[in-house]
Chain A
Amino acid sequence: MDEGFRAAAQAAPSISLCQLGLQRPALVRSVNAAAAGLPPERARQLADIGFVPGERVMVVTRAWPGGDPMVVLVGHSRFALRGAEAACIQVQEV
Chain B
Amino acid sequence: MKASVVHLHAPGPLVALVGNPNCGKTALFNLLTGSRQKVANYAGVTVERKEGRLTGGGAGRAPRVLDLPGAYSLYPRSPDERVTADVLAGRAVGEKRPDLVVCVVDATNLRRNLRLVLAVLRQGLPVVVALNMADLAQRRGMAVDPQVLAAALGVPVVPTVGVRRSGDAALHDLLADPSRWPPPPPPQADASHDDARLRSVLEVLGHAQLHPDRLTERIDRVVLHPVSGPLLLAVLLFLVFQAVFAWARAPMQAVQSATAFVAQWVYGFMPHAGPGRWLTSLLTDGLITGLGGVVVFLPQILILFFFILVLEESGYLPRAAFLLDRLMGGVGLSGRSFIPLLSSFACAIPGIMATRSISDPRDRLVTMLIAPLMTCSARLPVYTLLIGAFVPSRSLAGGIGLQGLVLFVLYLAGIVGALAVAWLLKQFTARGEVRMLMMELPAYHWPAPQHVALGLLQRARIFLQRVGGVILTLTLALWFLASFPTPPAGASGAPIEYSAAGLIGHLLAQVFAPIGFNWQISVALVPGLAAREVVVSSLATVYALGGNQDAAGSLAPVIAQGWTTATAFALLAWFVFAPQCLSTLAAVRRETGGWRIPALMAGYLFVLAYLAAWITYRTAIFAGLG
Contacts and interface: CB of A to CB of B under 8 A. Distances in A.
Interface of A: 1, 37-39, 41-42, 44-46, 48-50, 52, 54-56, 60-61, 63-66, 68-69, 71, 75-82, 84-85
Interface of B: 72-73, 75, 77, 108-109, 111-112, 115, 195, 199, 208-211, 213, 216-217, 220, 224-226, 318, 321-323, 325-326, 335, 433-443
Nearest to B77: A45
Contact of B437 (A1, A64, A69): A69
Given A38-B434, A45-B72, A75-B210, 8 more contacts: A52-B195, A61-B224, A63-B323, A76-B108, A76-B109, A79-B439, A81-B438, A84-B434
Contacts of B438: 45-46, 49, 79-81, 85
A80 B108 contact: no
Contacts of A37: 434
A1 B108 CA distance: 18
Contacts of A39: 433
Contacts of B224: 60-61, 71
Contacts of B335: 69, 80
B66 to A, nearest CB: 22
Contacts of A80: 318, 321-322, 325, 335, 437-441
B232 to A, nearest CB: 14
A64 B434 contact: no
Contacts of A76: 108-109, 111-112, 210-211, 213
A84 B210 CA distance: 27
Most buried by B among A46, A56, A77, A85: A77
Nearest to A49: B72
B112 to A, nearest CB: 5
Contacts of A65: 326
A5 B381 CA distance: 66
Most buried by A among B208, B226, B442: B226
A32 to B, nearest CB: 15
A42 B437 CA distance: 11
Nearest to A2: B208
Contacts of A52: 195
A71 B437 contact: no
A75 B501 CA distance: 64
A45 B441 contact: no
Contact of A60 (B77, B210, B220): B220
Contacts of A48: 72-73, 75, 115
